[in-house]
Amino acid sequence: MGLRLVDPGNLVHATDTGGLAVVTQLRPIDVVFTIPEDELPALMAKVRAGERPTVDALDRDRTTKLSTGKLLTVDNTIDPTTGTVRVKAEFANEDDALFPNQFVNTRLLVKTLQGATLIPTNAIQHNGQTSFVYAIYDGTAHMQTVKTGTVDAGMTAVENIRPGTVVATSSFERLQDNAPVTPMKKPVQAGRGKGGAP
């Protein structure tokens, strides 16, 4: 029950739509969010198999996980203006971490990649339809074409690069193939993965 909207002595009419107070359900609580239509087939395959994928609710900055719930249902239409479909998840919310009308970011687990090579998303450059990185070998930058996959939390799964390869994450305007570079000695900031930058 929310704060009362009418006090003793207030004038009310039969046509008033506000009521006396707003009643909302907190436990459990539902979160409605959207997913790209390209991800719908993989999600629906899990739904048809009777699975309820995990959904994490994150704060506005995506740095703190507020709660973990389960997929409840998927809408039956795609929004043609955004290319997304609405999805609803249910959270037990026993600690009242979620609140009605609160803004949250969501992360829906559809599949887990095993043995994927991850690099910072900001290391990936694009040349038309081709994605590439500047891999640093023996103090020299080498353009290396990569095939990109899933993106999450600032990291991208890629193919065609060995784990442990140092990749450039800045100063791209000064880089070209076979250019000499000196990797920075300071550590890469948390969340950006391992590796150096020119």
Torsion of Cα atoms, 29 then 35 then 37 then 38, to 10°: -130
What is the spatial distance between Cα 75 and Cα 166, in angstroms, rounded to a whole number? Answer: 43
Question: What class does CATH assign to 29-108?
Answer: mainly beta
Q: Decide if pLDDT at 45 tops 70.
A: yes
Residues 6+ apart with CB under 8 A from 112: none
**H helix runs in the chain, sequence order:** 40-48
Is the pLDDT at 64 greater than 70? The verdict is yes
Q: Which helix (H) or strand (E) holds 99?
A: none
Break the chain into its structural domains and give their ranges: 29-108, 117-180
pLDDT tens-place string over residues 82-138:
999 999 999 999 999 999 999 999 999 888 888 888 999 999 999 888 999 999 888
Taking only the tens place, the pLDDT of each residue in 141-154 is 999 999 998 887 78
Q: Which fold has domain 117-180?
A: 2.40.420
Q: Which residue has the tokens 């000196």?
A: 182
- Confidence at residue 185, expressed as pLDDT on a 0 to 100 scale: 58
Give CA–CA dist 81/88, Å, rounded.
Answer: 20
Residue 102 is predicted with a pLDDT of 95
- Strand, helix or coil for residue 155: strand
